[in-house]
Amino acid sequence: MRIYALISFVAANIIATLSTQAIGRKDLTTDEKKQYEEAMTYASKTNNRAAVAILKELYDKHQDNIDIAYNLGLCYINMSGNPDSALYYLQKVYQVDKDSRWNESKGDLMLALARAYQMCGKPEEALPYYDEIEKHDKKKEFEDVVKFEREVCANALTLKSIPVKLSLCSVGESVNSAWNDYRPILSVNEDTMYFTSRRPKKDADKKVRFDDGQYEEGVYRAVRMGNKWDCNEWGNVEQIQNLIVDGKKAGQETVTSISGDGTEMYLCHDGDIYVSKLVDGKWQPAERLSEPINTALDEQNAFISADGQQLFFSSNAPGGYGGRDIYRSRRLPNGKWGEPLNLGPAINSADDEDSPVYHTYSNVLYFSSNGRNTMGGYDIFYSPEGEGGVFEGAKNIGFPINSPDDDMYFYPSMDKDRAFYASIRWNNGHTASYDIYEVEYEQPAQNTMALLSAPVEAEDITKVIIFTYDKEDGENVGMCRPNTRTHRFLEIVEAGKDYDILAVYKNDTIRTTVSTKKSDCYFNTHSPLDLDPLAFAEKIANDQVEASNRLVASNEGHLGFGNGAGNTETDEVAENEIGSISKPGEVVPKVSDEEEKKDEDDEETESEWKQWITDDSHPYTVQIMSLRKTLSKKLLKKLDADKVAEYRYHDGWFVYSYGAFSTYQEAREAQDEIRKTTPYKDAFSRRGQQYKKFVNRTLRDVLR
């Protein structure tokens, strides 16, 4: 929770001095003075909850003591969530002091009163106090803070005049406690929520608290119960223990992200970023990320994109724009993280930016900032990613999502029709703390995403890799592993399109195609589109291992698929086949020993094939085969040798493509004709440019 600059100023100049100045009309007893000093000590350590408990007890006995009333008001502002209580006590002090001459203490009181009105959602009633301060502040001691708070009031009035149409509700008492509950992270199908809480841990000494009166951070998991889409139907909350082991003892841990396939959990601890792996359904002790992600500085709130290729986090690294900035690192071909880059002034301000979340399916970054046009404290902002990976100017997400207090950790659903986030907001009868809320838009920003799901059966589920491709243009739209707890494959795709799916496991591959409709979007159905099980056999000849590896290595852009919607096939590879993996029951010509020997005799140092056949105006081609040795033109079956190109991969494979086409549709038509009329039954279309990525490396290098 952030202490506002205004309140820090008041706390430094008022709370400390009032503890030694007698302002009240009645003297306190010796024991009461000790209680008062204890309350001031708690307040100085930001444990306002404990300070309020003592001060309220004293106030009940000394209601004419404006010293106690004033500090009660300040503590209620600093602890947030109870601005009406702050307003009550501060107004009592002001009624006594309003006719007195102007002095610095009176200016502090007016600042506190104005802030209390703002936190109660009444910025228009705060403005007269700022007018009064400006009128009397001849020394300009309050100039900067008044200017800032005036801007906050103006922002609040503007945003409240154009509210976002939505429903907003607490996720319920099973998740939200009397302590801080925040950083909600949802599984793809939204039936599981991970979150961080400052409640007492099961394995912790309940007497040990931090200076602010709360317990150490812990990670918890909650499961949807009852009506799946009621926002407060959450239950079965359990603590996930020992994620961060510092030495021999578990410590504070904050969950910040879950990978798209649900197998990695990102956490922050003591200014560093960690990742935990899901093994046999259990989260393992997390490992600290190495440089260049973690440094001697403070890195926090890492978010992994759904495709696993981008990592966003906040840092106070020098050379930024001020305070905490948001950085992005991209995954390198070797699987490691590249040098983090500052996202620039479109995102980062002179103050603090934090809690980044990147919505992969719409290329929008969400984050919180206290240095932009906020309503007060941290507000949530969003920024679409433009061409070249440059983010556009950030925009306030609006009221009532944002409030006069802190709003952070915004986590949109995949279809952006819902979102979850943490907020400190005025809620009568509720203890002041972060709570988690669910947002449901009346006018969803997007409702076109569908969720594909299938059970996966394999002896070692961790070695299964599943690729999803857009059937129309051949683009890779997803690569993931099945969840090791649920043993299910989950992938988010755009509804209304057809997709090819390839599952690879050791020496085996499974192919299937699926057609989706606009009506299959998750916003409409709130359920995944279930596919047939991806079940792998275990006993296949060793030569198939090599063929499966060849398939993965040579097809980053688009791997060959059989025809027919809903058709699932298991590929079995015959020894010495020409072409890539064929469909069951189809015979591919083999190279005879005599032909192979003759081919070796005729082999030249320089390849007799073209090295490239595609260009900018004809970017598409059809891959027809991949072999461990170069193919002689004498063995080419039924195709024009002058239209074939050879690509040599560093791992020893030779890949061959046929023709150059201006559109993907033309390439698909050629692909279908080749499958019908030649032995190359697994020919498939792809961009010629994609071969460049694999002439010097293979997909196995990327995944290693």
Report the distance separating Cα 423 and Cα 420, nearest Å. Answer: 10
Mean pLDDT of 420-441: 79
Give the pLDDT band (50/70/90) at residue 644: very high
- Higher-pLDDT residue of 36 and 559 is 36
Report the distance separating Cα 201 and Cα 148, nearest Å. Answer: 40
Share of the chain above pLDDT 70, in %: 78
- Higher-pLDDT residue of 567 and 115 is 115
Q: Regarding beta strands 449-457 and 534-535, do their DSSP bridges make them parallel or antiparallel, or are they unpaired? A: parallel
pLDDT tens per residue across span 316-372: 998 899 899 999 999 887 888 999 999 999 999 999 999 999 998 788 999 999 988
Closest to 189 measured CA to CA, from 519, 7, 375, 449: 449
Closest to 467 measured CA to CA, from 521, 513, 518: 513
- Cβ atoms of residues 170 and 234 within 8 Å: no
Report the distance separating Cα 306 and Cα 449, nearest Å. Answer: 14
Q: How confident is the model at residue 665, as a pLDDT? A: 83
Count CA atoms closer than 13 A to 549's CA, side-chain side: 14
Give the pLDDT band (50/70/90) at residue 420: very high
How would you label 282-295 residue by residue, b for 16+ Cβ within 10 Å and e otherwise? ebeebeebeeebbe
The SS3 assignment for 600 reads: helix
- Cβ atoms of residues 672 and 303 within 8 Å: no
Query: Nearest 5 degrees, angle CA 76-CA 153-CA 132?
Result: 80
Number of residues that this document lists for the chain: 704
Tokens of 49: 């909850």
Report the distance separating Cα 436 and Cα 433, nearest Å. Answer: 10
561 in the Ramachandran plot: left (φ > 0), alpha (ψ -120 to 50) or beta?
A: beta
Who contacts 33 (Cβ-Cβ below 8 Å, separation ≥6)? none
pLDDT at 577 over 60: no
- Higher-pLDDT residue of 574 and 263 is 263
Q: How confident is the model at residue 650, as a pLDDT? A: 57
pLDDT tens per residue across span 271-296: 999 999 988 888 999 999 999 999 98
Range in 37-46, 75-84, 122-131, 564-573 with the lowest mean pLDDT: 564-573
Beta strands in 594-690 (DSSP E): 620-627, 644-648, 654-661, 684-687
Strand partners, 456: 534
Give the pLDDT band (50/70/90) at residue 583: very low
pLDDT at 123 over 50: yes
- Cβ atoms of residues 40 and 14 within 8 Å: no
The single residue listed with the structure tokens 């309003």 is: 98
pLDDT at 436 over 90: yes
Q: How confident is the model at residue 606, as a pLDDT? A: 63
Report the distance separating Cα 169 and Cα 233, nearest Å. Answer: 11
Long-range contacts of 602-608 (CB under 8 A, 24+ apart): 602/632, 602/634, 603/630, 603/632, 607/646, 607/648, 608/632, 608/633
The single residue listed with the structure tokens 């966003």 is: 312
Strand partners, 380: 368
pLDDT tens per residue across span 44-102: 888 888 899 999 999 999 988 888 999 999 998 887 667 888 889 999 898 887 777 88
Amino acid letter at 46? T
Peptide bond into 384 cis (omega under 30): no
Q: How confident is the model at residue 22, as a pLDDT? A: 40
Tokens of 569: 């096939």
pLDDT at 460 over 90: no
Report the distance separating Cα 344 and Cα 349, nearest Å. Answer: 9
Domain 447-539: CATH architecture, name and number where available: Sandwich (2.60)
Mean pLDDT of 634-648: 85
Q: How confident is the model at residue 328, as a pLDDT? A: 95
Closest to 561 measured CA to CA, from 547, 579, 582, 588: 582
Maximum CA extent, the chain: 113
CA 379 to chain CA centroid, nearest Å? 17
Q: How confident is the model at residue 580, as a pLDDT? A: 32
pLDDT tens per residue across span 195-205: 999 998 876 65
pLDDT tens per residue across span 169-207: 889 888 999 889 999 999 877 888 999 999 988 766 565
Assigned fold of 166-441: Neuraminidase (2.120.10)
pLDDT tens per residue across span 205-214: 565 677 777 8
- Cβ atoms of residues 592 and 584 within 8 Å: no
pLDDT at 266 over 60: yes
- Cβ atoms of residues 468 and 513 within 8 Å: no
Q: How confident is the model at residue 685, as a pLDDT? A: 80
The single residue listed with the structure tokens 């992270």 is: 185
For residue 208, give Cα distances in angstroms to 9, 108, 199, 201, 553. 30, 35, 12, 11, 54
The single residue listed with the structure tokens 């408990």 is: 53
- Cβ atoms of residues 173 and 194 within 8 Å: no
**Orientation angle between helical segments 104-119 and 66-79, nearest 10 degrees:** 40
φ, ψ at 215 (rounded to 5°): -85, 175
pTM: 0.66
Report the distance separating Cα 652 and Cα 473, nearest Å. Answer: 29
Q: How confident is the model at residue 694, as a pLDDT? A: 60
- Average confidence score pLDDT of the chain: 78
Q: Could you state, in order of their start, the residue ranges of all structural domains in the chain?
A: 5-161, 166-441, 447-539, 562-704
Give the pLDDT band (50/70/90) at residue 471: confident
Q: How confident is the model at residue 628, as a pLDDT? A: 62
For residue 626, give Cα distances in angstroms to 172, 497, 591. 57, 29, 14
Q: How confident is the model at residue 491, as a pLDDT? A: 84
Assigned fold of 5-161: 1.25.40
The single residue listed with the structure tokens 């990976």 is: 389
The single residue listed with the structure tokens 């798209």 is: 260
